[in-house]
A and B are shown apart, each in its own frame.
Chain A
Amino acid sequence: MRSAIEGPDATRRTLLKSAAIGLFAFQLGGVDAMLSPAEARRRGARLKILSPAEAAQLEAFGDALVPGARKAGIAHYVDANLARPHSQSLLTARYLDVLPPHDAFYKTGLAALDGAAAAAFGKPFAKGTAAQTNPLIAAMLPGQITPWAGPPAPLFYLAVRSDAADLVYGTRAAFEQLNVPYMAHIEPPSDW
């Protein structure tokens, strides 16, 4: 990996290390465990806010937007954040002026997506093929998806796409995969 850093002492980057522990709390077999969303998904941790069907749909939608989001645990990531107080949420919905409660935003958005899928190809979104779901997704950002009975489709698209991008592109491991130096001042407490 190339280094283009010149000038001031770059070793300062790594001098400040966080001792904080910031993984999310998930339930495994009735016991709380601090896990990354990917681990939580792999180990079948219980969801607190989303139903299994909603989680499956969010995984399908997230993975269609940003390949890799399913494996990275998008459903568990969103679920864990929805279970937190709003002021501690790390979801992009917080940036996008989505009015809380955000669980309603995700649940009604997913329901609207299923409604559009049912109208377009007679199956839930998660059961559709790429050829069936891609036209629906492409119609979301321009606000042309119909029928749509949920939060504004462009907003829902941007929020879930950003959640997926956080997990697939925003971690240290993702930076390394993209050959982008991470260069942390303070290591984030969780690399998801």
Chain B
Amino acid sequence: MTGKAASSTDAVIVGAGAAGNLFAAHLAEAGKSVLVLEPGPAWTTGDLYSSLIWSRRLRWGGPAVESTGGHAFGAGFNNGWGIGGAALHHYGTWPRLMPSDFTMKSDHGKGLDWPLGYDDLRPYYDRIQEEVGVSGDAEAEVWRPAGAPYPLPPLQQFAQARLLSRGFTALGMKTAPSPMAILSQDYKGRPACVYDGWCDAGCPIGALANPLVTYHPRAVKACAKFVTGAHVTRVLPGRNPHEAAGVEYVDASGETRTALAKVVIMAASTIGNPAILLNSAADGWSGGAGNSSGLAGRYFMTHSIAAIYGFFDGEETENYLGVTGAQATNMDHYPKTALGGGAFGSLQWQLAPTMKPNDLLGVAMARADLFGPALTKFMDRAVHHLAVMFGFGEGLPVAENRVELSGRTGPGGGRTPRVVHTFAPESVKLWERAAELGLKVIKAGGASEPWANPMANAHMMGGTIMGRDPKSSVTDSYGRSHDIANLFIAGPGLYPTAGAMNPNFTNHALALRSAEHLLAHWPA
């Protein structure tokens, strides 16, 4: 296959998800020429049908990702496909990381430290929440680290949240409205949420801060160019091993093309970024681009989920109303050793996500073991009386958990990724203790027949971790490759520890910090 004539821009961005669009907007607004390459389609808000069946189009539709290990990661569910990426179907639950998340190694001798602290990131959290609109009650979140109050009051709560909160109150624990990147009031030309609970299918009215209504329009307005159907296969070496020339990609027609750029920004997801780096072996890049540490792909992390269910017969739980993320939160057990009993890591509760009757997070899947008439009977009861809360548990960073290349090939002959993941024993214990606690809480709230489902997982972090030492990390605190001066990596793949918080707020804060640093230190 022959390559078409190369294009050249100031920056080429690989991936049009949350971080890619934020970078594109800021760089283009600063006058840089920007090309964004996205393998999926060009969604518009008009494509976001209110149906969990149709929502599957928004999930990864590219070359297959293999997933294996003792606790295999749900790659298909978590990844995105097309402009907006995973943020197009994310739920907008936006807590900040805690200061303790940045210093785990120093504090406990476990895991890793970040090369920056909470105070370094705090101003970016504050600015992002003001830019995109976050709803919440900072005072009620007694656990919340220092920061500006939310620009919008909390979202409305429905019966499910009130019923579940009773259990926490009964045990002397606190709850607060969840901090959500969903508008409780009209804000900057976007309308407020109407609580129909279709966030998982994408929010077409733009109340939820998905990239189609936040940074993508800004990037387009500032003349960033987006090319869809473009599968990036590798980073191209420059004049020496410390320079990237651009990227190679296969376009929608199957042609191999080259995009040259002064700066390459990898924003192709926590799985896609290391896969492309590992596929980019060349002279001077024997283990792949930016991989002199041998850690590209290593320290892949996810959150365990303790899913706790119970019936509130006699009450209409209104579990079909609200938002897919959460209506309320509790973080009493966020300190790394708070649960005891051999558990290690942070825990965050999210109460009362919307449940539609079908789909993985829907009512029917709450009891996957039921079938036939027993399922029919369960459904009739559960759609009006079931309540659920999720405990998100931190997965410790483990080097053996990794994104590696499989034996299969994708567009352009590049090898496709395989994710290998097994929780550390302390993380498994954390999930067990969380499930025990959750059952105690929901019982205390008056739920009948409570149960905990088998361990699930969500969110993806690590794989291209940041750090101070080039021997033990892939990038610096701005996402700049230790090896390749004009190669930046963006996204939650940078996190050296996962915390227990949904990753997208921190993803935005880090991307803003990096984009501004890049513009202030633009390569000569």
Contacts and interface: CB of A to CB of B under 8 A. Distances in A.
Interface of A: 2, 4-10, 12-13, 16, 18, 22, 64-67, 86-92, 94-97, 99-100, 130, 134, 137-138, 141, 158, 161-162, 165-166, 169-170, 174-175, 178-189, 192
| 5 nearest A-B pairs in the assembled complex, by CB-CB distance | A87-B61, A170-B358, A188-B51, A184-B50, A169-B357
Secondary structure of the B contact surface, majority rule: loop
Interface string B47-73: 011111110110111101111000010
Interface in B16-49: 40, 45-46, 48-49
B459 to A, nearest CB: 15
A185 B204 contact: yes
Given A4-B318, A90-B53, A185-B48, A161 B371 contact: yes
21 contacts: A2-B316, A4-B318, A10-B194, A64-B371, A66-B371, A66-B376, A67-B376, A86-B61, A87-B62, A94-B56, A95-B77, A97-B66, A130-B372, A137-B372, A138-B371, A166-B52, A170-B52, A179-B383, A183-B194, A186-B46, A186-B204
A178 B379 contact: yes
A192 B49 CA distance: 14
Interface string B181-224: 00001000001111111100001110000000000000000000
Contacts of B384: 179-180
B56 A162 contact: no
Interface in B67-111: 67, 72, 74-77, 81
B478 interface: no
B156 interface: yes
Nearest to A191: B51
Interface stretch (B300-308, B361-369, B441-449): B361-369
Interface string B313-346: 0001010110000000000000000000000000
A141 B369 contact: yes
Given A64-B372, A178-B379, A183-B194, 8 more contacts: A4-B159, A8-B192, A13-B194, A89-B56, A95-B74, A161-B371, A179-B384, A188-B50
**By CB atoms of chain B within 10 A, which of A12, A97, A162, A184 has the most?**
A97
A141 B370 CA distance: 10
A8 B194 contact: yes
Interface in B402-451: none
A11 B197 CA distance: 15
Q: How large is the interface on B (under 10, 10 to 19, 20 to 34, 35 or more residues)?
A: 35 or more
B380 interface: yes
A13 B372 contact: no
B356 interface: yes
Contacts of A9: 194
A126 to B, nearest CB: 15
A8 B153 CA distance: 13
B158 interface: yes
B56 A95 contact: yes
Contacts of B59: 94-95
B375 interface: yes
Contacts of B203: 185
Given A169-B379, A170-B356, A188 B371 contact: no
B358 A91 contact: no
Given A12-B194, A185-B205, A178 B49 contact: no
Contact of A188 (B49, B67, B74, B362): B49
A6 B318 CA distance: 13
Nearest to A64: B372
A97 B74 contact: yes
**By CB atoms of chain A within 10 A, which of B51, B81, B192, B372 has the most?**
B51
A59 to B, nearest CB: 14
B359 interface: yes
B73 to A, nearest CB: 8
A23 B244 CA distance: 46
A67 B373 contact: yes
A99 to B, nearest CB: 5
Nearest to A6: B156
Contacts of A95: 56, 59, 74, 76-77, 360
Contacts of A180: 320, 356-357, 383-384
A2 B317 CA distance: 12
Given A97-B72, A170-B51, A178-B383, A5 B195 contact: yes
Nearest to B319: A180
Nearest to B185: A8
A170 B194 contact: no
B211 to A, nearest CB: 18
